Structure 1
């Protein structure tokens, strides 16, 4: 009872004391300015200290840098390169008297050296020239051709140009070049001028192109045949069931893979579409339209004023191997057809998966023939 009485008395005394004094409000106006300033500075220093504690400013970390280079100051990063040949002495800034604006590659064997000699002579010093050697023979070229000493030779046996391209022509490596020519070794160039070709490509706004083919020497597709009295053409009539509206491959937005020419931007896209394990590139021609802005049939075309002859030399067949009773050439040909089907399937599946992730229906723009 005594304890309860004490508690009640203390409560009553507290209430009485609260009623006896006016309310006391503490605001900024009631506090001295010096005290306010001290509190503000103290809080600010606390925030900075917390930030410094969270981020170690003695170390560099730039998330916007290329992946793997976050620890470098942005000013030292060289994310792109080129294939310009440099000397081993002197001032690096004085190495290059001229920087070629275009790149041309040929996938070659020594047996076709005379053909390549004729091709190389069609390209000025405005072009960097790369020879991909599938037969392992490189030193003989220097002995026979003076120009060979000034071009780039890359030798890996029994490979195709798409294998080389995927591994040696990354878009960041060839970023200095406005256009990239990726040509086979069996092309006749008597009626071809490289500088004039570039002029036509720029004039007609072509992102992906090829020279017209001599129709008298055999052509696989109607669209790539050279036409008379025009500079460039972008459409043709193939089998009725193949053509559509808007125009699609092989009636439009189509070039063959023996002599394509890509703009820098188009190549960046095409390189990513090349599959590591599909070395022949069959099927790419039907999918190239994905790498330019729509309407694709306005950005892909055939240059008629600068035309070539496809000689149909089956040189890759000799790089095959006799297996299961098939000749080396037949084995290579079968692989080409197999890769075409595999590529089509991968494109279709990737497209369906993408639109499924968006929860929308796949549009009817397949790259394959039906």
Structure 2
């Protein structure tokens, strides 16, 4: 140790100065060398796969150097990369895109959706062995499982099955094999039109040519969905329903099944009920228990459904506004007919108030909603005509 001390203290001043100058020169040279070259990316190194088997180099780069550094480093090379992502989104503005998506390049926009089930593995392009062309929905309670099972079996594999559960019971339906491939939506004590407004947006059901929105208490012994749609297409119906049988409990003559026709579009009602033979309930009319809509007609009808008027009363008199001419494109298919069993399941979902039975409160609201809907529609029309300076005083249309 003494030797080291003596050697150090015995150095000449010129040697010490040379060491200091060399060290300083090395530091300065290293600094300028560092700022003259961009930061090296770990992902640029071709490391052997066995050296770092479980390390995601791109993650390390993002986590510790920042994506901005990566973007800066590759800025000069972007023109050579066909899949690069630009940070400058201010240059994209496409007014023809759906509202809210104007800043996206059109090629990435998915404006529509569907109910097709997907796998959690494999290639997305291989998920679907087929794409059903039609959609049928039933609003159901578990107590009607036998009736729904019989109804679903009348629809082929060309149909997506969608069940809306108003009683909250969904898993029990798996006793039916078809239920395992069906779509189940559960919200307690809601109506068919409440579900339709919230889950059947036109951009979601766009892949389907026709949409069936049916009640749970329909007898389908004499019904076949594929044959039904053949007649719908043959007669050019945009909005339709199967004929109803028997006469018991029938409300409107228009929906009564005729044994001598495939389809009918007009009827005769009680005196004074039809001011115009081309208007409801003598024409351009189907009931809300089992309607079938084309994709185009449903896009219009969906917008007419009110958020707070959940029973749909009055809607059947208004759907004619969504097709033209309505008295030719709305009709009843007689050759494929159903039975309306009239099971009061919806009424039982009500509550007892002011001494009234649950079904009485439900029925009262139905009637009120009918009046409210007609009033809203009339007011909306009048406001439009007024704003457009259109005189409708001499018009017979209503």
What's the TM-score, normalizing by structure 2? Answer: 0.76
Q: Does 1:342 align with 2:372?
A: yes
Contact in 2 for aligned 1:189/1:307 (Cα 8 Å): yes
Residue 237 of structure 2 corresponds to 206
In structure 2, distance between residues paired with 1:147 and 1:318: 27
Q: Does 1:79 align with 2:111?
A: yes
Post-superposition offset of 1:365: 2.2
Q: Does 1:99 align with 2:131?
A: yes
2:348 to 293, 306, 318: 318
Report SS of the residue matched to 1:173.
coil
For structure 1, the residue ranges without an aligned partner over 5 or more in a row are 1-55
Contact in 1 for aligned 2:118/2:127 (Cα 8 Å): yes
In structure 2, distance between residues paired with 1:245 and 1:67: 40
- CA shift in 2, pair 1:58/1:288, >3 Å: closer
Post-superposition offset of 1:60: 1.2
Q: Does 1:223 align with 2:240?
A: no
Report SS of the residue matched to 1:228.
coil
| TM alignment of 1:29-48, pairs within 5 A | none
Q: Does 1:90 align with 2:130?
A: no
Q: Does 1:354 align with 2:384?
A: yes
Q: Does 1:328 align with 2:368?
A: no
Number of matched pairs: 309
2:200 to 151, 169, 181: 169
In structure 2, distance between residues paired with 1:112 and 1:58: 56
Residue 44 of structure 1 corresponds to none
Post-superposition offset of 1:162: 0.2
Report SS of the residue matched to 1:215.
coil
Post-superposition offset of 1:244: 3.4
Residue 154 of structure 2 corresponds to 122
In structure 1, distance between residues paired with 2:357 and 2:293: 34
2:185 to 131, 154, 160: 154
In structure 1, distance between residues paired with 2:313 and 2:331: 19
For structure 2, the residue ranges without an aligned partner over 5 or more in a row are 1-87
Cα RMSD of the aligned pairs, angstroms, is 1.1
1:162-194 alpha-carbon deviations (Å, 9 max, x no partner): 000000000000000000000000000000000
Q: Does 1:64 align with 2:92?
A: no
Contact in 2 for aligned 1:209/1:300 (Cα 8 Å): yes
What's the TM-score, normalizing by structure 1? Answer: 0.82
1:134 to 146, 166, 169: 166
Report SS of the residue matched to 1:242.
coil
1:170-229 alpha-carbon deviations (Å, 9 max, x no partner): 000000000000000000000000000000000000000000000344311011010012
